[in-house]
Amino acid sequence: MDFQELNEKLSSFDVNDIDWNNMGSWPVAGKAIFASIIFAAIVGAFYWFDIADKITAYDQLVNKESQLKRDYETKAFRVANMDAYREQLIEIEESFGSLLRQLPRDTEVPGLLEDITAAAVGAGLTINEIKLKPEVDTEFYTELPIDIDVYGEYHDFGAFVSAIAGLSRIVTLHDFTIEQKDTALNLKILAKTYRYNDESGKKSKKAKRKK
């Protein structure tokens, strides 16, 4: 049977003429079409129920492999630079220790208040009030807020702030306001100094050990 004859049979094929109870009597063209449909259905079902899941699983494994390679490279880099990290840790601990030594102890707070008073007087300011406020505890240190209320000229305020910055202990300045009071200016500012909270540090270390 040549191609032209097969084409003529396919053209003359009518679905309505199919005898579903006697498939053996079907023409060759009908059998070929039906077999093709069955084959396509089997291949499609096989792909849907088996191959598609395997392709998805394969893609997931490929992505996981890429992530594992990146993790390995990161960890390998850290291991190769472990000595450098240890040296940096030692430097950080030394710097942290020097900062802690700048935090005043309880017995030094009165002296710090005297230093602030001396800085205000040295800048030519009139002191209305320098008052220590309640402490504020954090995990590693305790804040010691100090309310400062002084009078003077604007340039005197600059000299006062510079003197505070030059103290041997850490003092930060916050939330300042300047108002005109009679012939002078009134400066209200919140100063904060800090004290290392040794007890909180010990509790934190114990908590980490328990974990």
Segment 155-183, tens digit of pLDDT: 999 999 999 989 888 889 999 999 998 88
Tokens of 59: 């893609």
Band (pLDDT 50/70/90 cuts) for residue 24 is: low
Q: What is the pTM of this model?
A: 0.48
The pLDDT confidence band at residue 5, using thresholds 50, 70 and 90, is: low
CB contact at 8 A, 171 and 190? no
Judge whether residue 27 has pLDDT over 70. no
Residue 88 has a pLDDT of: 86
pLDDT of residue 186: 94
Is 93 a residue whose pLDDT tops 70? Answer: yes
Q: What is the pLDDT of residues 184-202, one digit of tens each?
A: 899 999 999 887 766 544 4
